[in-house]
Structure 1
């Protein structure tokens, strides 16, 4: 009998959707670098009030500028605060893995396609610079622009594009139309929200599983799951291990693959399962949390930030356990973990996040012991 086995050298992971520099990147090519830079500069003025837009280009100079004396004299890298902006210069080659980490906070990255490849392209038709020899770079054309001297799309490009391919063809000078296209492109690529009920704690002070307490005639896990599922493209309950799962509750679960990290382990484990969605996380020990407050959070989601959250009930710090974490938060939280921090609140405090004022902060009271549980029951059901 012959058996076939497949040996996997590395664990199979769901990879985040990403290009060479960013999940939302557009390479501009087909004309000279001067026209590309002029277009990018004009687009920045239109797009920057709405989005954080990065740009990737190459310097045509072959050596460091005369004023880069630190680099000329052997400095490996230096961080400079210019008051209005910060810069980091290095002599080291920046590989794609590093460049993605550096650009993770951008909503969009425009790329000079004359120098670097991008996973989607804006093609400029310029009679002075034919693209016929570079058709292999046109893998996902999203927009075609005409220079003033261009009379239309050349036949070689029409033949290269997929059958039925249709894109608008504005003039390169029509910056408003190009900016409008980019805005629609980003709206189409908006990531869905998935829900995560954080129920993986040990409940030591409560002396029983907090997720199993029935404040509303069903376990608190199920109650929060049902609230989240109204706003999410799939909702899961987070458990720290398989043995903790309540098999009587037929709801999807995610068990921790990041172990011993408390709530952060549950959040990262969900992101590992699907790094291409935002995750709305809610702790299961918040019986006063209302559907209206969740609706408010979702309605005020800021996809340009690492996360959207509320200020806590004391008005001092962001509340990490009622938060929408954007896909970019996966890399950010892992960076905090690599530096020895496993506290989601610390990440919120030290990252670019949207912080909302809750409609009613009393809903954030968490219930941790039997005495608090009894008071919560009395408050929720005063007539019983």
Structure 2
């Protein structure tokens, strides 16, 4: 099983260290605010021991958890320390996490050179494992000797003034663009076609079996394209197409999506069903052009009920823990996840392209429609 490339809190996380805690908090505020239009930020810190004497609220009475709807925000207070696994779950919806490096560690660091914190920083030199940005305070003119010893490539690291807020925001935005998950394609071809009465993935709407027609369309937009199927169907797929068999079985499309993330948890997945005979490249291109990596998914709205259309959706890596959490509560409907999560919804450019076929009557109607279109072009 492939593990996501997570740090202590998330995929993209930076510990800011070498400055007073107040400076770190204010810098985090500015960066989170500057990136807020496009990315969801989060912050991690440790309170000073003299900030609080007793646990808040009912925790002091022995409660293990207290939830408070603060109207403007929600608050969860835990009595017990959160494990790294629980922290990653809580931070999974954030696109980036900034960490007070004076108290917590992260897989990458932003180093502040401040003469007043030089001695404190020297004690944390061992934490400088992956410095990606150096910020210089007005009272400092050089890179400290112990930093040069700990960060051998310090000359290659971007260096900015600590008050160059626009430059700092530009740095983080560039990193987030660079870290945007690649997009894979997944063709859902593992259904049993019980309502149709025959394998609808093998219908040749466009001169070739539909599963191959969809896969070929996705190849122009995705890094890798896989045909999703049940384990016993693998040998039925042409050798020219990559196969991704279900490892979450008997869950339909939900199991196929989870199986894809289990295989490549750091990729985003453009999931497309095979029963969309009118689907075209323009519809796929439109969805990708409006992809919102800050959401858990980008989906079209159904023209019938206005709800998310699960048959063609881009699922971001942050949706993986969300899908598993729904499954743990007994739900295995992709649409239910989209409805109850932070999903980016867009109207379809061509509503007819989302028409799906599940019955012989629908098959005959679409077949006639396609023949009429071909005749009109001729």
Q: TM-score, normalised by structure 1?
A: 0.93
Kindly provide the CA deviation profile for residues 3-23 of structure 1, in whole angstroms up to 9, marking residues without a partner as x: xxxxxxxxxx10011000010
Structure 1's unaligned 5+ residue stretches are 1-12
Instruction: Find the aligned partners of 1:74 and 1:164 in 2 and give their Cα distance.
Output: 49
Please give the secondary structure, in 1, of the residue aligned with 2:124: helix
- Does the CA-based 8 Å contact 1:20-1:118 persist in structure 2? yes
- 1:181-196 matches, within 5 Å, as 181-196=171-186
Determine the C-alpha separation between the residues in 1 that align with 2:8 and 2:347: 37
Q: In structure 2, how many angstroms separate the alpha carbons of the residues matched to 1:248 and 1:69?
A: 62
* Cα distance change, pair 65–160 in 1 and its aligned pair in 2 (3 A): closer
Alignment of 1:177-256 (within 5 A): 177-243=167-233, 245-256=235-246
Question: For residues 65 and 378 of structure 1, what CA distance do their matches in structure 2 show?
Answer: 75
Corresponding position: 1:48 with 2:36: yes
Whole-angstrom distance in 1 between the partners of 2:153 and 2:56: 50
Distance across 1 between alignment mates of 2:218 and 2:238? 20
The match for 1:111 is 99
Aligned pair count?
Answer: 372
CA contact (8 A) 1:64 1:72 kept: no
The correspondence for 2:260, drawn from 255, 267, 270, is 270
Shift of 1:133: 3.2
Q: Which residue of 1 aligns with 2:10?
A: 22
User: 4+ residue stretches of structure 1 with deviation over 4 A?
Assistant: 62-67
* Structure 2 counterpart of 1:71: 59
CA distance in 2, matches of 1:374, 1:38: 63
Confirm whether residue 335 of structure 1 aligns to residue 325 of structure 2. yes
1:97 counterpart residue number: 85
Q: Verify the 8 A CA contact 1:215 1:377 in the aligned structure 2.
A: yes
Deviation at 1:162, TM superposition (A): 3.2
Q: Provide, for residues 79-105 of structure 1, a one-character-per-residue CA deviation record: whole Å limited to 9, x for no partner.
A: 111111111011111011001111111
- For 1:282 and 1:190, the matched residues in 2 are separated by 21
- TM-score relative to the length of structure 2: 0.95
1:150-169 mapped onto 2 (5 Å cutoff): 150-163=140-153, 165-169=155-159
State the Cα RMSD in Å: 1.6
Kept in 2: contact 1:313–1:365 (CA 8 A):
no
Q: Distance in 2 between matches of 1:30 and 1:92?
A: 29
